[in-house]
């Protein structure tokens, strides 16, 4: 029987955790202050850190802010 509850892909959870880790390592204690300082939509960024589906454009923007390449970001996966 099909459940209505959405099952989150573990890879999405890992990406979200890694993005949150980058923010914390950049000395931001809150997603709100990070998003404000980097001109990101506060709600959208909060959703990113909580495993919402994001576009590649959003991922690239976040990686550019942290000055990290795609290959470096995904190297630990």
The count of domains in the chain is 1
- Residue 44: give the domain boundaries: 10-71
pLDDT of the residue at 77: 82
Q: Would you list the DSSP string of 37-68? A: HTT--HHHHHHHHTT----HHHHHHHHHHTT-
What is the mean pLDDT of each successive set of 10 residues along the chain, which is 77 residues long?
60 95 97 97 95 93 97 91
76 lies in some domain:
no
77 lies in some domain:
no
1 lies in some domain:
no
CB-hemisphere CA count at 13 Å for 73? Answer: 22
- The model's pTM: 0.85
Tokens of 62: 């976040």
59 lies in some domain:
yes
37 lies in some domain:
yes
| List of residues 6+ apart from 59 with CB closer than 8 A | 15
57 lies in some domain:
yes
40 lies in some domain:
yes
């Amino acid at each position: 029987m099909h459940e209505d509850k959405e099952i989150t892909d573990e890879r999405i959870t890992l990406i979200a955790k890694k993005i949150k880790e980058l923010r914390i390592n950049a000395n931001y204690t809150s997603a709100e202050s990070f998003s404000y300082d980097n001109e990101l939509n506060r709600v959208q960024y909060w959703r990113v850190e909580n495993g919402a589906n994001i576009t590649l454009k959003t991922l690239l923007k976040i990686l550019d802010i942290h000055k990290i390449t795609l290959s470096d970001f995904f190297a630990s996966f």
